[in-house]
Amino acid sequence: MKKPILLLVCVFFSLGIHAQEFIGAWERYHTAENGDALKSVVIFSDEYQVLTTYDAKTGKFINTNGGTWKLEGDTMTEKVEFNSSNPERVGTEVSFKVVITDSIMGIVGSGMEFKRIDDGTPGKLQSAWLMSGRKRDGSIQSRDTNRPRKTMKILSGTRFQWIAYNTETKQFMGTGGGTYTTIDGKYTETIEFFSRNNSRVGAVLTFDYSLVDGAWHHSGLSSKGKPIYETWSIRE
């Protein structure tokens, strides 16, 4: 198990390391103490990241955490904005050394390695977004994205995850994620985990989408079958 880490360290010293190399999605399969097969997926946008673990077979949600990130040399520092299992960590920073190749990312000294899923391409929606409005009675009602209560959605080239949380109260309200495609104005999600309702795992939801003046307009039926029209703004 240690040989890949040693290889990664050698690559790091010979080639250097850059923040842009982390952009995209990564996955790791591992085993829980009770023997269950788990899958962990991390998505990086330019400034934000999210790491989620769920049952690889059933999609049962285990935990998620994330927030901002930055890279200085080979040291990554994350500032926690949400943590479903340890809310007391919200607002704290954690730093660790990382190594990376084209296909593998590792955390030095942990034995943890993630394989690349994508590098952010095709990238029509690759970014971190905040819900900024909903259409009600035919008009868009704006939402203040600076308030502590947030609904954020992070997308790589092929993976998506939304997270509802409050940075002031440290409350985690829910999350869901999986894979997505954007074809001919249709945005389609395939749900791999959903913290509020595990029965939604495997569901495929298709929405109309468009980008208007930098805002993502998203309409269709929610996971509960109710009509929705949302707008999302790229998080600065």
Between 103 and 9, the more confident residue is 103
Output the pLDDT for position 55. Answer: 98
Strands 112-118 and 104-107: antiparallel
Task: Tell me: pLDDT of 16 over 80.
Answer: no
Given pLDDT bands bounded at 50, 70 and 90, which one contains residue 6? very low
Report residue 123's pLDDT band, with 50, 70 and 90 as the boundaries: confident
Q: Is the pLDDT of residue 15 over 80?
A: no
Structure tokens at 219: 């309409």
Interval 104-133 mean pLDDT: 96
DSSP H or E stretch at residue 40 = strand 37-44
Beta strand ranges found along 184-225 (DSSP E) = 186-194, 204-212, 215-221
10 pLDDT above the threshold of 50? no
**pLDDT reading at 13 higher than 60:** no
> If you count DSSP H runs as helices and E runs as strands, how many of each does the chain have, helices first?
1, 17
Tell me the whole-structure pTM to 2 decimals. 0.92
- pLDDT for residue 87: 98
Domain 2-118: CATH architecture, name and number where available: Beta Barrel (2.40)
3/91: higher pLDDT: 91
Domains in the chain: boundaries: 2-118, 127-234
Chain mean pLDDT for the chain:
93
What is the arithmetic mean of pLDDT over 57-69?
98
pLDDT in the model for residue 12: 41
CATH number of 127-234: 2.40.128.490
Helices (H), 90-231: none
Q: What average pLDDT does the segment 33-60 reach?
A: 97
Q: Does this chain's domain 2-118 share its CATH topology with 127-234?
A: yes
Q: Is a pLDDT exceeding 70 seen at residue 203?
A: yes
- Looking at residue 151, its pLDDT comes to 98
Q: Strand, coil or helix: what is 162?
A: strand
Strand bridging mode 149-155 / 61-72? unpaired
